[in-house]
């Protein structure tokens, strides 16, 4: 295995880079040989710091926007350029690595890069798709495309109002990935991309989908896509916070934002299980009135909170964020621009995670045993919130108004339900502890995900 060379490629988004980077670490620890981690040329310049590991190397390809994508760029042009220029420059990267004496043995690509499989096939390089969505969300997409061909007919028969998968609750339109719905602003871009993903896998005589999940977490969804050769190898989160006895790993990950350093001491000053940690990921942008309602709800609970509020680009937004910060005294809460999320979630003072239910964050909540209040925004987040509330039962999904607004009173209700002394809260905390144990068991030596990854590597010629 030592002479193998894995090329991992991902787009420069926090939720894409980190699971792929964690996979790279797993490959190196498993003795897989050389790993090259590649993202776009502009993305490479945005990373705060590159973790250094033996046998890990970095490279880039072009997406056609080496100076960065602007908000005014047409999304359809972005998609077309990414495929056209990305295919060309990925081919050049593969040829360059081969010329240097480091030919790529295996290519692993992730979401929104289905053309990478076509490039690999043309160069006779085997490839695998790393699914960074929940497997449940991916299986729902697969059901949609296989049963409806991903097309809404003009008479409306548009997406199904519900989808059933054996062993799981009924998924209605509010639970399905948002981009499957015709009124979603990203549907016209993402639906063709997902079609391309599935077509690329079906063209492959030996398809492979690496899943950022474990057998026990999403058994039914894994079974639904069995013909794509799914291999659960997750959760792909930092081992340092899953196993305190594991000294081979560290908390390092890839960050596109500068982390604050002030929160550790603040957390140390708080009682066990008392703090509400609040973060809505790296992409969601909340309206000002929604942020004010969140602040009102948090302060209304009289529980200490740590809230991640990313700095905005616009001066008006920055001024508003400063006003939000000024309203909070250090005794009741702390607002930071970014943090090491696994470090925070693993801290004993954390009692609840109020979040968007992005898949990485959901996995991190499961891995650390932290109960959840979900406020999903888009993509697979609605699906993940359904799983949190009704399948794993490790949290609740907050109810929103018809316009999607989350009221302060609902925040207080949910936090009290999860962190209070009632029967529902006790059940949620008990389930969170149970799933933490099962998650840790899967990735440790001899666990299902550990064994699946090693079996995958053994089959690579």
DSSP for 221-250, please give it. HHHHTGGG-EEE----S-GGGT-TT--S--
Give 377-406 pLDDT, tens digit per residue: 999 999 999 999 999 999 999 999 999 999
Is there a domain that residue 250 lies in? no
Q: Do 338 and 329 form a contact (C-beta atoms < 8 A)?
A: no
Give 54-63 pLDDT, tens digit per residue: 999 999 999 9
Is residue 76 annotated as a catalytic residue, yes or no?
A: no
Which one from 16, 196, 197, 356 is the annotated catalytic residue? 16
Is there a domain that residue 246 lies in? no
Measured in whole angstroms, the distance separating CA 326 from the mean position of its chain's CA atoms is 31
Q: Do both 286 and 225 map to the same domain?
A: no
Strand 230-232 relative to strand 395-397: parallel, antiparallel, unpaired? Answer: unpaired
**Backbone torsion region of residue 273, taken as left when φ is above 0, otherwise alpha when ψ lies between -120 and 50, otherwise beta:** left
CA distance 410 to 41: 43
Q: Do 418 and 428 form a contact (C-beta atoms < 8 A)?
A: yes
CA distance 310 to 5: 36
Q: Do both 225 and 327 map to the same domain?
A: no
Cα angle: 110, vertex 113, 119; to 5 degrees: 110
Q: Do 425 and 383 form a contact (C-beta atoms < 8 A)?
A: no
- Using CA atoms, how far residue 188 sits from 40, 167, 195, 277, in Å, is 23, 31, 11, 35
Under 8 Å CB-to-CB from 156, ≥6 apart: which residues?
Answer: none
Q: Do both 372 and 446 map to the same domain?
A: no
Per-chain mean pLDDT for the chain: 90
Is there a domain that residue 247 lies in? no
Instruction: Work out the pLDDT band at 282, boundaries 50, 70, 90.
Output: confident
State the average pLDDT over residues 5-19.
95
Under 8 Å CB-to-CB from 101, ≥6 apart: which residues?
Answer: none
Is there a domain that residue 254 lies in? no
Q: Do both 313 and 221 map to the same domain?
A: no
- Residue for token pair 């009290």: 416
Is there a domain that residue 388 lies in? yes
Strand 162-163 relative to strand 171-172: parallel, antiparallel, unpaired? Answer: antiparallel
Q: Do 267 and 304 form a contact (C-beta atoms < 8 A)?
A: no
| Number of domains making up the chain | 2
- Residue for token pair 């929940």: 134
Q: Domain of 358?
A: 263-440
Nearest to 410 by CA among 357, 354, 331, 362: 354
Which has the minimum average pLDDT: 2-6, 119-123, 225-229, 362-366? 2-6
Q: Do both 232 and 268 map to the same domain?
A: no
Question: In this structure, what CATH number is given to the domain that contains residue 329?
Answer: 3.40.50.2000
Strand 127-131 relative to strand 209-211: parallel, antiparallel, unpaired? Answer: parallel
DSSP state of 48: S
Q: Do both 205 and 293 map to the same domain?
A: no
CA distance 366 to 372: 9
Is there a domain that residue 405 lies in? yes
State the average pLDDT over residues 423-436.
97
Is there a domain that residue 13 lies in? yes
Q: Do both 319 and 237 map to the same domain?
A: no
Q: Do both 291 and 166 map to the same domain?
A: no
Give yes or no for residue 260 having a pLDDT over 90.
no
Give 211-254 pLDDT, tens digit per residue: 999 999 999 999 999 999 999 999 999 867 656 555 445 546 77
- 423: tokens are 């029967």
Q: What CA dihedral angle connects 398, 402, 404 and 406, to 10 degrees? A: -50
């Amino acid at each position: 295995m030592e002479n193998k060379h894995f090329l991992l490629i991902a787009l420069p988004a926090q939720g894409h880079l980190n699971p792929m980077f964690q996979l790279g670490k797993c490959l190196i620890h498993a003795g897989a040989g050389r790993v090259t981690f590649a993202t776009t040329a502009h993305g490479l310049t945005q990373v705060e710091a590159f973790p250094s590991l033996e046998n890990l190397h970095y490279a880039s390809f072009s997406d056609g926007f080496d100076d960065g994508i602007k908000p005014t760029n047409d999304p359809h042009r972005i998609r077309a350029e990414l495929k056209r220029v990305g295919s060309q420059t990925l081919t050049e990267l593969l040829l360059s690595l081969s010329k240097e004496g480091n030919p790529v043995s295996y290519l692993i690509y992730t979401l929104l890069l289905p053309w990478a499989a076509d490039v690999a096939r043309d160069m006779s390089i085997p490839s695998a798709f790393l699914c960074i969505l929940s497997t449940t969300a991916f299986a729902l997409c697969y059901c949609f495309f296989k049963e409806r061909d991903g097309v809404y007919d003009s008479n409306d028969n548009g997406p199904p109002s519900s989808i059933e998968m054996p062993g799981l609750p009924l998924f209605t339109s509010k639970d399905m990935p948002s981009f499957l719905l015709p009124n979603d602003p990203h549907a016209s871009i993402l639906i063709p991309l997902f079609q391309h993903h599935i077509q690329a896998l079906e063209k492959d005589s030996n398809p492979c989908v690496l899943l950022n999940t474990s057998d026990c977490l999403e058994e039914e969804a894994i079974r639904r896509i069995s013909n794509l050769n799914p291999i659960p190898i997750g959760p792909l989160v930092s081992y340092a916070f899953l196993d305190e006895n594991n000294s081979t790993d560290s908390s390092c990950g890839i960050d596109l934002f500068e982390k604050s350093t002030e929160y550790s001491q603040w957390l140390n000053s708080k009682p066990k299980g008392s703090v509400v940690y609040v973060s809505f990921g790296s992409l969601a942008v909340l309206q000002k009135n929604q942020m004010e309602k969140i602040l009102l709800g948090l302060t209304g609970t009289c529980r200490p909170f740590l809230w991640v509020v990313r700095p905005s680009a616009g001066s008006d937004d920055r001024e508003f964020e400063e006003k939000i910060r000024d309203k909070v005294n250090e005794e009741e809460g702390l607002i930071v621009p970014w943090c090491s999320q696994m470090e925070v979630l693993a801290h004993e003072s954390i009692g609840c995670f109020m979040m968007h239910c992005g898949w990485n964050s959901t996995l991190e909540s499961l891995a650390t045993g932290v109960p959840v209040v979900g406020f999903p925004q888009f993509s697979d987040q609605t699906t993940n919130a359904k799983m949190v509330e009704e399948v794993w039962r490790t949290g609740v999904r907050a109810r929103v108004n018809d316009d999607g607004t989350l009221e302060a009173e609902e925040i207080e209700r949910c936090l009290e339900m999860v962190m209070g002394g009632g029967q529902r809260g006790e059940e949620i905390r008990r389930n969170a502890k149970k799933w933490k144990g099962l998650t840790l068991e899967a990735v440790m030596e001899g666990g299902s995900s550990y064994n699946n990854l090693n079996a995958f590597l053994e089959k690579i010629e």
